[in-house]
Amino acid sequence: MRVAILGSGRGSNAAAILEAQAAGRLGRAHVVQILSDKPDAGILALDARFGVPAAFVDPAPFKTKLEGEGEARFIAAVLAAQADLVVLAGFMRVLKPGFLNAFAGKIINLHPSLLPSFPGLDGIGQAFRRGVKITGCTVHGVTAEVDGGPILDQTAVRVEPTDTLESLAEKIHAAEHALLPAVIARLSERG
C-alpha cells in the first residue's frame, strides 16, 4: 500500500509513521511521498532523515481551504505518487469535493480529540478549557463534513488535575504517535 502523507506542521506524526515503517510495524504500507502546503514546515525536513521525497505544493489562492488551482496541484502530486492511501497528519486545510472525489475512500485524518467532541481547530485546547476528564485522539475516514467521517480508531487520554495544556498536549501527541501507524498497518493488511 503506497502512502502519501500531507501535513502543515512539525511532522512528528509523519516521523512516527516512518519510524514504524523502519521498525517493520507498518504492515504492508510504505510511505512514498510527503507533501506540505507550508514551504517552511518541519515535515519537509523528514526527507533528509528518512529518505522519503518531500515537497512543498503551492496551495494558492485560498488561505484555509484547498480548492481551485492549489487543489489541482495537490491532486496532481498525489496522483504522481500513485498513492493508495492519503494520510492527513496535521494538514490544516479543509478539503473540497475535487480532492475528496479524486481519492474517495482513500483519505484518513488524525484529530487530537475524541471525536465527535471538539472538532475543528485546537482540539486539545478546546477539551482542556472545557474541563473534560478524558480526551484523546481519533483517526477517521475523511468526508465533506469536517472531522465528521467514519471513526476508524481512538485512544483515550486521562486529564489529571495536575495537567497543564502543555502536559496534556504531550500525552495526546504520544498517543497519536502510536495510534496512527497502527491504523495504517491495519488498513494495509485488509487485503
If one counts every other C-beta atom within 10 angstroms of the C-beta of residue 162, the result is 6
**Candidate list 6, 11, 74, 179; residue touching ligand GAR; CB under 6 A:** 11
Strands (E), the chain: 2-7, 30-36, 54-56, 65-66, 85-88, 94-95, 107-111, 134-141, 151-158
Matching residue, cell 485488509? 190
DSSP letters spanning 68-86: HHHHHHHHHHHHHTT-SEE
The answer to whether 186 contacts ligand GAR (rule: CB under 6 A) is no
Position with the least CB separation from ligand GAR: 90
Grid coordinates representing 94? 479543509
Nearest-approach distance from CB 153 to ligand GAR, in angstroms: 13
- Name the residue nearer to ligand GAR (CB basis): 82 or 150: 150
The answer to whether 136 contacts ligand GAR (rule: CB under 6 A) is no
* Catalytic status, residue 111: yes
| Rounded Cα–Cα distance for residues 80 and 148 (Å) | 28
Choose the stretch contacting ligand GAR; rule: CB under 6 A; options: 32-40, 54-62, 105-113, 151-159: 105-113
Nearest-approach distance from CB 146 to ligand GAR, in angstroms: 8
Rg (C-alpha) for the chain, rounded Å, is 16
Of 111, 140, 173, 177, the active-site residue reads 111
Grid coordinates representing 163? 495537567
**Candidate list 106, 111, 140, 171; residue touching ligand GAR; CB under 6 A:** 111
The answer to whether 112 contacts ligand GAR (rule: CB under 6 A) is yes
Distances from the Cα of 49 to the Cα of 14, 18, 87, angstroms: 11, 10, 19
Of residues 40-69, which lie at the interface with ligand GAR (CB under 6 A)? 43
* φ, ψ for residue 128, nearest 5 deg: -60, -45
Choose the stretch contacting ligand GAR; rule: CB under 6 A; options: 20-28, 29-37, 95-103, 106-114: 106-114
Nearest-approach distance from CB 75 to ligand GAR, in angstroms: 20
Active site residues: 111
Contact positions vs ligand GAR (CB under 6 A): 7, 9-13, 43, 89-90, 110-112, 123, 173, 176
